[in-house]
Amino acid sequence: MEKYLSQLNDAQLAPTIQKDGPMIIIAGAGSGKTRVLTYRIAYLMDQGVDSFNILALTFTNKAAKEMKGRIADIVGDSEAKNLWMGTFHSVFAKILRFEGHHLGFPSNFTIYDTQDSQKLMGSIIKEMGLDKDIYKTKQIYSRISSYKNSLITVKAYFKNPELMEADAMARRPKMGEIYKEYVDRCFKAGAMDFDDLLLRTNELLTRFPNVLAQYQNRFRYILVDEYQDTNHSQYLIVRALADRFQNICVVGDDAQSIYAFRGANINNILNFQKDYDGVKMYRLEQNYRSTKMIVGAANSVIEHNKTKLDKIVWTANDVGEKVKVHRSLTDGDEGRYVASTIWETKMNKQLHNSDFAVLYRTNAQSRAIEDALRKRDIPYRIYGGLSFYQRKEIKDVTAYLRLILNPSDEEALKRVINYPARGIGQTTIDRLVVAANGYGKTIFEVIQNIDNLDLKINNGTKNKLKDFVTLIESYQVMNQTANAFDLAEHVTKTSGLIRELNKDGTPEGVTRMDNVQELLNGIKDFVEGQIELADAGDSLAEFLEDVALATDLDADKGDPDHVALMTIHLAKGLEFGHVFIVGMEEDLFPSAMSMNTRSELEEERRLFYVALTRAEKQAYLTYTLSRYRWGKLIDAEPSRFIEEIDDEYVDIVTPLKEQRFNPMLDESIFGDIEPNRVRFAKPKVAKMPKKTTKSKPENFKISAPKKMKPVAKAESASESYDEKLVVGAKVNHQRFGRGEVIKIEGKGADAKAEIKFQKGETKKLLLRFAKLQVL
């Protein structure tokens, strides 16, 4: 038997080596579902299945990358390279690049992210003269998204009186028209939103049997992780592709289904046996992740759900420590408890920051935790929220790049036509939009033909518009020969973007400039990576696709040794030694918005089950007696979920006297409140200081770890490198990790270093771009 198979127990081995036929593995958290999928892929390849014929769909691209790495360890790099693995969105975006022309989309179609989609909806609502307080963009967005995920096209919508009636009852009778206009505009712009990537794939596979046959024939073995969270659209894609060979293996846990609010359908698991003939059903019962205490606590919680499949989860791991429950007075206290506990545990047990995670129900909760971690100099990273690529300055640059590839891209055009300012006003843009809609042309085409059209735009402005189009056209010419990096750098300089950012000398302006530089570094890395793989395809198109689909979880930035902060939703499938679940309060968790029906409450409970089962060694639950929510201080009550854990697994650690007051740490947070009141008394609402702006958690914020020297900036590279970057110096590279300098060549802007990385590779890097940290 192959050596790696001995790393599975018997129950795991059986599905791993069942080569053919449909199968489903239903099993509790931490029982090795993802491991089975991984090993199964390696096994299939061992059995002679061509890696080209395997498709694996995961919940995040990061999970796919890790799986691929593991498979490469077993079967070798070159074999693993051809595997198609990734999220539904990234895999089908690739397929649509090849096949989208059947549906009338260009191969370089743009992917609209949520921000682009909502902007477009906002302008449609405005153009239609609708009341934006009734037609709220976000609500319209999620409504249209749910139509798409249920495969309700515009045509289907207008054939469904119930849906139309429901929208009319919700005072939105124009919903269907907005939907139609939105779809038309996306089509005209050569753009797909996230939901389209699934919807259009379904359309493609349904309308074009030849295309379907081609991909059925290609993907002879299909594997799906986290199957419980697939929506109807995803379900249909999988079913269509697997229909011919029926070699389909799905794994999931009904107790971890947490995306019903976004259309995930737990019935996809329950009905699997009906969909295919001769389905083999496997169960895994042994949990390898967590201690007995954690497994016991999680089991006792999920027992409270009525709707569930009966499952056994047990573990042979250590008993471990009970789940610790801690009460605080305020969210500031809660943050300090988390930070000090991490600090102490790290010291006492000699652990890394990355052994800890803080999970919360809503993004807004991260701020108090961040403050406390920062005060203790504990490096952390926030996952989720606004991703790097959604920042304004980054979107501005990528909008130029998108426009070069796809001049029909309306959102990209509107974003940069007058940024940096070129004297093209909003009225002109509105007129262009109206003209484009009227003539059935794109805005870009309207401008190209502006001299032949009868528009109320004066000649001066017309010239400015023509200059803009000429500028973009000149970039298009350059794109035919230059690589993505050279092009992007040229665009930032010649469009005036850099000049614009340079004008702003504020710290925020400097950060924005750094971010643009960081983006350019990213493109450089990407281009170099392609050259290494001898895969220099259309680098710009591929880079932009990666950008559009990058979730924050996927980006590996900064020092890897950090505490992870994220919502529970994002933590699915992950594991950490020590897990804090904060904000365990009624109305927060379970959320006030999810307590109307039993099924909503049960979904919250499953979410709690997911949170608890992320912990390997120790879980902490914290709650506070008062918390700022929606700008007001409110009394809070402990979450019902705490009580639902059997007593034998819980340890109430809250001291009668709250945490000792430490003026060094606490003063700045409490401002004018006397320490005694904070310490012993439940604070009165009126006397608490108003918190100023609840700053949104910014992404990629990594508090600088003390031991690191500051990153050498690309621009000042030669100066700082000359001093520290010598042969023998230890360095850290964002992508390649740690290494040692073995040679230095050239000077100034051309200086290069040859570095032997710990991962085994030796690379020659241009210092101007490498952004090395000298350790």
List residues with catalytic annotation: 33-34, 225-226, 256, 614
Q: Contacts with ligand ATP in 593-652 (CB under 6 A)? A: 613
Which of 167, 253, 334, 585 is close enough to bind ligand ATP by CB under 6 A? 253
| Cα–Cα distance measured from residue 18 to residue 195, given in angstroms and rounded to the nearest whole number | 34
32 annotated ligand binder: yes
Partner residues linked to 629 by β-bridges:
632
Which one, 6 or 426, has the nearer CB to ligand ATP?
6
| Cα–Cα distance measured from residue 772 to residue 290, given in angstroms and rounded to the nearest whole number | 37
460 annotated ligand binder: no
33 annotated ligand binder: yes
Q: Contacts with Mg ion in 571-630 (CB under 5 A)? A: 573
> Is 573 an interacting residue with respect to ligand ATP (CB under 6 A)?
yes
Q: At closest approach, how far in Å is the CB of 67 from ligand ATP?
A: 10
| Cα–Cα distance measured from residue 433 to residue 442, given in angstroms and rounded to the nearest whole number | 8
Partner residues linked to 651 by β-bridges:
324
User: By three-state DSSP, how is residue 67 classified?
Assistant: helix
- Which does residue 30 bind out of Mg ion, ligand ATP, none, counting CB within 5 to 8 angstroms by kind? ligand ATP
Q: At closest approach, how far in Å is the CB of 760 from ligand ATP?
A: 23
Q: At closest approach, how far in Å is the CB of 70 from Mg ion?
A: 13
Q: At closest approach, how far in Å is the CB of 139 from ligand ATP?
A: 32
The residue type at 760: G
Sheet containing strand 84-86, edge to edge, reads 84-86, 54-57, 221-224, 248-252, 23-27, 280-284
CB environment 658-674: b (16+ within 10 A), e (fewer): bbebeeeebeebbeebe
Tokens of 184: 């038309």
Which one, 495 or 613, has the nearer CB to ligand ATP?
613
Looking at 248-388, list the stretches that DSSP marks H as alpha helix, in order from N- to C-terminal side. 267-270, 272-275, 292-302, 331-349, 366-375
For residues 740 and 730, the answer to whether their CB atoms sit within 8 Å is yes
399 annotated ligand binder: no
**φ, ψ at 645 (rounded to 5°):** -80, 135
Q: Contacts with ligand ATP in 32-51 (CB under 6 A)? A: 32-35
Task: Locate the DSSP E strands across 514-574.
Answer: 563-567
| Cα–Cα distance measured from residue 429 to residue 127, given in angstroms and rounded to the nearest whole number | 12
- DSSP readout, 358-403? EEESSGGGHHHHHHHHHHTT--EEE-SSS-GGGSHHHHHHHHHHHH
For residues 305 and 606, the answer to whether their CB atoms sit within 8 Å is yes
The residue type at 591: S
316 annotated ligand binder: no
- Which does residue 551 bind out of ligand ATP, Mg ion, none, counting CB within 5 to 8 angstroms by kind? none
Which one, 289 or 322, has the nearer CB to Mg ion?
289
> Is 30 an interacting residue with respect to ligand ATP (CB under 6 A)?
yes
For residues 351 and 345, the answer to whether their CB atoms sit within 8 Å is yes
Q: At closest approach, how far in Å is the CB of 357 from ligand ATP?
A: 13
DSSP label at residue 244: T
**Which has the closest alpha carbon to 650: 323, 412, 366, 374?**
323
550 annotated ligand binder: no
| Cα–Cα distance measured from residue 515 to residue 393, given in angstroms and rounded to the nearest whole number | 8
The contact mask relative to Mg ion for 21-60 (x = CB under 5 A, - = no) is: ------------xx--------------------------
122 annotated ligand binder: no
- The sign of the torsion formed by the CA atoms of 542, 544, 545, 551 equals positive
> Is 732 an interacting residue with respect to Mg ion (CB under 5 A)?
no
**Which has the closest alpha carbon to 245: 270, 219, 226, 227?**
219
Which one, 289 or 395, has the nearer CB to ligand ATP?
289
Which one, 35 or 629, has the nearer CB to ligand ATP?
35
Q: At closest approach, how far in Å is the CB of 616 from ligand ATP?
A: 8
395 annotated ligand binder: no
CB environment 444-454: b (16+ within 10 A), e (fewer): bbbbbebeeee
Q: At closest approach, how far in Å is the CB of 277 from Mg ion?
A: 27
Scanning 5-13, 207-215, 501-509, 596-604 for contacts with ligand ATP by CB under 6 A, the matching segment is 5-13
Query: Which residues are near Mg ion by CB under 5 A?
Result: 33-34, 573
Residues flagged as binding site for ATP? 27-34
Residues flagged as binding site? 27-34
Query: Which residues are near ligand ATP by CB under 6 A?
Result: 7-9, 12, 27, 29-35, 253, 256, 288-289, 573, 575, 613
